[in-house]
Amino acid sequence: MEYTVLQWIGDEAILQQFVSGLSTTSLLLIIVVCIALLSKGADWMIDGVVDLAERTGLPKIVIGATVVSLGTTLPEAFVSVMAAYMGNPGLALGNGVGSIIADTGLIFGLTCVLAAVPVNRFILNRTGWVQVGSAILLVVIAVAALYTTDNEPVLDRWVGFLFLSLLVVYLYVTYVWARQGASSMEEEVPAHELMGLGKCWLLVTSGLILVVSGARVLVPAASEIANRFGVPDDVIAATMIALGTSLPELMTAIAAVRKGHPEITVGNIVGADVLNVLFVIGAAAVAAPLAIPENFYYFHFPAMLAILVSFRVFISMNGAGVFHRWQGVWLLGVYGVYITLGYALNVGSAHPV
């Protein structure tokens, strides 16, 4: 049977069928190559973003919240839209909410533990509220759907169009805020000769392609190996898939910290959280109405709000201008409790994230 390029990229079953026919040695080789692609792609992307920020005068945190976060959430959006279009709309909501929890709890928490992450108040006091506000809007609409229908609650297409409209507003307002605050932000003087804008965009684009491609192939390959070694399906789903959906953000965070630009990670996480609601869930809801499983109301939504509210409180209380290591430990702890309860109570089985 022949498949289109879109099906190869968006349909998890096709990728899983492909890797199941490969030998374990071939799968291990694919994993090594994918990890190398992820690492190199993240390096290129961070190098391009740093010089792009210095060339354009936009703070690195803003570039992270727009260009980088759009790129790293693109695979989730594409997979979610394809899933909704191909008759599995429930997957899209789980991808969006689960990625917010993993990005903020796991990745940002880990970044705070590893590095002193600066608090850019001018940007975070604004985009941070958008981050929490978009998640609250999602929950409010979901609760309203629960109490206004006798059937299973869904996010209708009008919700998707609303979210996509808000996405356009968010991107424009973020740019305006960045321009307003650029003069008051202390950006370091470049210690090297800046590359041209064309090369900056080439590195950012090429890096994103490598990161997205590597993550897209790595997850089914690793899942297939785990399955061959007898790892249960639910464990694979709650570990391999959770890592895979956040792998681009994770590799970007590691590269940013290693190269001394943790503020890019802050922008990427905040931007990715907003986009997971407005872009990922919004685009998928336009493709097909999204069913809201019962466990989202008492498990996934509360976990998402707990992590985002904690992040918002940390922004407000960090007068020293940096996120503290204990705050990273807290976020990691909340994420750990979320994963543990998902296993212990089996409340996340409707869609492991």
pLDDT at residue 288 greater than cutoff 60: yes
The answer to whether residue 161 sits within a structural domain is yes
Beta-bridge mates of residue 155:
290
Query: For the residues 44-49, what does the mean pLDDT come to?
Result: 73
Looking at residue 321, what DSSP letter applies? Answer: S
Strands 290-291 and 154-155 turn out to be antiparallel
The answer to whether residue 281 sits within a structural domain is yes
d(CA 78, CA 91): 12
Query: For the residues 259-265, what does the mean pLDDT come to?
Result: 71
The answer to whether residue 231 sits within a structural domain is no
pLDDT at residue 190 greater than cutoff 50: no
Residues sharing a CB contact under 8 Å with residue 15, sequence separation 6 or more, in sequence order: 8, 216, 217, 220
Contact by Cβ (8 Å): 353, 102: yes
The answer to whether residue 211 sits within a structural domain is no
Residues sharing a CB contact under 8 Å with residue 3, sequence separation 6 or more, in sequence order: 11, 14
Band (pLDDT 50/70/90 cuts) for residue 7 is low
Query: For the residues 129-136, what does the mean pLDDT come to?
Result: 92
**150 lies in which domain range?**
59-184+241-344
Query: For the residues 207-226, what does the mean pLDDT come to?
Result: 73
Q: What is the predicted pLDDT for the residue at 351?
A: 42
Q: Residue 185: name the closest of 324, 62, 68, 313 by CA.
A: 62
The tally of domains found in the chain comes to: 1
The answer to whether residue 146 sits within a structural domain is yes
Q: Residue 353: name the closest of 308, 288, 290, 295 by CA.
A: 295
Q: What is the predicted pLDDT for the residue at 48?
A: 76
The answer to whether residue 302 sits within a structural domain is yes
The answer to whether residue 21 sits within a structural domain is no
Give per-residue pLDDT as tens, 68-108. 676 667 666 766 776 677 666 666 787 788 888 888 998 88
Q: What is the predicted pLDDT for the residue at 56?
A: 66
- Phi-psi category of 39—alpha, beta or left, where left has phi over 0 and alpha has psi -120 to 50? alpha
d(CA 113, CA 117): 9
The answer to whether residue 7 sits within a structural domain is no
Give per-residue pLDDT as tens, 326-343. 999 999 999 999 888 876
Q: What is the predicted pLDDT for the residue at 12?
A: 62
Q: Which region among 12-26, 82-96, 143-157, 159-173 has the lowest average model confidence (pLDDT)?
A: 82-96
d(CA 350, CA 318): 37
Q: How far apart are the first and last CA of the chain?
A: 31
Cα 74 to the center of its chain, rounded Å: 9
Q: Which region among 34-43, 90-99, 289-298 has the lowest average model confidence (pLDDT)?
A: 34-43
Q: What is the predicted pLDDT for the residue at 162?
A: 97
Q: What is the predicted pLDDT for the residue at 350?
A: 43
pLDDT at residue 2 greater than cutoff 60: no
Domain containing residue 270: CATH number: 1.20.1420.30
pLDDT at residue 279 greater than cutoff 80: yes
Residues sharing a CB contact under 8 Å with residue 16, sequence separation 6 or more, in sequence order: 220, 223, 224
Give per-residue pLDDT as tens, 233-245. 444 544 455 566 6
Mean pLDDT, the chain, as a whole number? 76
Q: Which region among 37-46, 53-62, 271-280, 301-310 has the lowest average model confidence (pLDDT)?
A: 53-62
d(CA 146, CA 150): 8
Q: Residue 66: name the closest of 208, 263, 275 by CA.
A: 275
d(CA 224, CA 22): 9
pLDDT at residue 26 greater than cutoff 50: yes
Band (pLDDT 50/70/90 cuts) for residue 294 is confident
- DSSP codes, 59-127: -HHHHIIIIIHHHHHHHHHHHHHHHHHTT-THHHHHHHHHHHHIIIIIIIHHHHHHS-EE--HHHHHHH
pLDDT at residue 249 greater than cutoff 50: yes
